[in-house]
Chains A and B, each alone.
Chain A
């Protein structure tokens, strides 16, 4: 994959952080670099995003979704797209899910 992909990024607000959302984001970015995937992370409300990445501190996954209908990957505590995922695998699996959604 060579063309750049715009990923809208949204955090929940971290009132109950089971995971450190900023840390997960950095790990996903590093995983993308390692995988040679050209992801451009942008503010969630910027128009024209190819995909939305929502990172929530806990499984409540309460971040509001924007109106536009881009595909979505949701990390929420130790879950990925509502399925359990251990902390150690979160970034790798989230990246896999992003790639699958493109």
Chain B
């Protein structure tokens, strides 16, 4: 079954999700101005899947059931599937200009699909069967899943089991015949408040002493003991306005939350790792690579909108023919397509895992995400250059609509003749929303901070081979030390 966007939104109303925001427990989170834009963005992933123009990217045939499904519930079966994923993300971002949150759970099920297979091969467990059943359930319900990986971590210099407070990483506190009980928290949970389920995974490689932290499981978003504390964003009080939001329908970034697990029970059928610490590192790495693959797609699409907004504001300012403006627009396109290239490349070079599912090229995926941590800042910097200082000094929309001072705003915010002042105002607010504040930080730290990519790049860089090449050409005999 594929849900419509309205069915998705209605389904959230039937949940008992516990959400706090700004010190308040939300009774009706679906219509709350802080949350609704993120729900609208996620709803687009349902709407576009049923639109003939976009279904070629957003739908696919399930390898488990043969049915047509939303791609966000699919397990990649080929490099073509991986490429389609990137193209899909770019196409959706072009419609939202914002994060639509479903990629994290998508990457979680793909990482766990191959990892549970590998665990079963080594230990004779039955995690992969459970995982396949769980994926069939997701494909049938079209549920939205949070990929719950990042723990609060406490003292970063200590391992999970060495922390003063053992809850700094999610861990198993009880096992019985029925299932397990977990405790801890996951931070920065994109889309958590408007999802149906959480897919818990460890966040670091683990050793035997951290066995209780090697846990992966699926939990309903409103399970007893699950509490979501919604994150603040730069300018989030603007969500109570209209034009000043910039992107009035879809908000900015994903709507992240701190999710607490206070002794949450999970039945065995939804447990996909419990104590197999030696597979935690592989799971984290696979998830990270899938997730880093995304950024040239989703940020590529977001950047398309920023390039469009920069072009529009240049025209409204009457400077679009200036050679330096054209050059800056070219630079923005160059950077956008560079990040897109990396995502397409790591997908094209995808490789099969023993489970039959496909993974991306890890080196190229990490190079791509590292570019994102720089190039999105540069794209946004150039957009600020083109837009001018009004981006940061524009008065409120309430002034624009004020009976006495509104006419002054109309008069002095005007650019070229023929363009209404309000249109210039709206484009500036859109640019401000997309390029200043929370969205930038997300480019830096989403899918792992830059150092995490550098570690993977060094590990995957095959330095020994490169050194051999150099020694051979230099006429040095023998192997390097």
| A contact residues vs B (CB 8 Å cutoff) | 9-16, 21-22, 43, 45, 62-64
Contact = CB atoms under 8 A, between A and B. Distances in A.
A15 B87 contact: yes
For the complex of A and B, the 7 pairs showing the least CB-CB separation, nearest first, are: A13-B57, A15-B91, A13-B56, A15-B87, A15-B90, A11-B53, A12-B56
B53 A10 contact: no
B61 to A, nearest CB: 9
B52 A64 contact: no
Give the bracket for the number of chain B residues in contact with chain A.
10 to 19
A11 B91 contact: no
Nearest to B92: A15
A13 B52 contact: no
A9 B410 CA distance: 47
A14 to B, nearest CB: 6
A83 B476 CA distance: 53
Given A15-B91, A62-B83, 8 more contacts: A13-B58, A14-B53, A15-B90, A16-B87, A16-B90, A62-B84, A62-B87, A64-B80
A13 B80 contact: no
A63 B87 CA distance: 11
Contact of A15 (B55, B57, B68, B80): B57
13 contacts: A10-B56, A11-B52, A12-B56, A13-B53, A13-B54, A13-B56, A13-B91, A21-B53, A22-B53, A45-B68, A62-B84, A62-B87, A64-B80
B94 interface: yes
B373 to A, nearest CB: 23
Contact of B52 (A15, A16, A43): A43
Interface string B55-81: 111100000000010000000000010
A12 B84 CA distance: 10
B51 to A, nearest CB: 9
Given A21-B53, A43-B52, A62-B87, A15 B58 contact: no
Central interface residue in A9, A10, A15, A16, by most chain B CB within 10 Å: A15
B53 A15 contact: no
B430 interface: no
Nearest to B89: A15
A51 B307 CA distance: 39
A43 B90 CA distance: 24
A64 B68 CA distance: 14
A64 B61 CA distance: 12
Nearest to B54: A13
Contacts of B88: 13, 15
Contacts of B80: 64
Contact of A12 (B57, B83, B301): B57
B53 A64 contact: no
A37 B73 CA distance: 40
Contacts of A13: 53-58, 84, 87-88, 91
A16 B89 CA distance: 12
Contacts of B301: 15
A61 to B, nearest CB: 11
B199 to A, nearest CB: 26
Contacts of A22: 53
A62 B56 CA distance: 9
Contacts of A15: 57, 87-88, 90-91, 94, 301
Interface in B16-46: none
Nearest to B68: A45
A21 B53 CA distance: 7
A31 to B, nearest CB: 19
Contacts of A9: 52
A82 B54 CA distance: 22
A21 B55 CA distance: 13
A16 B296 CA distance: 14
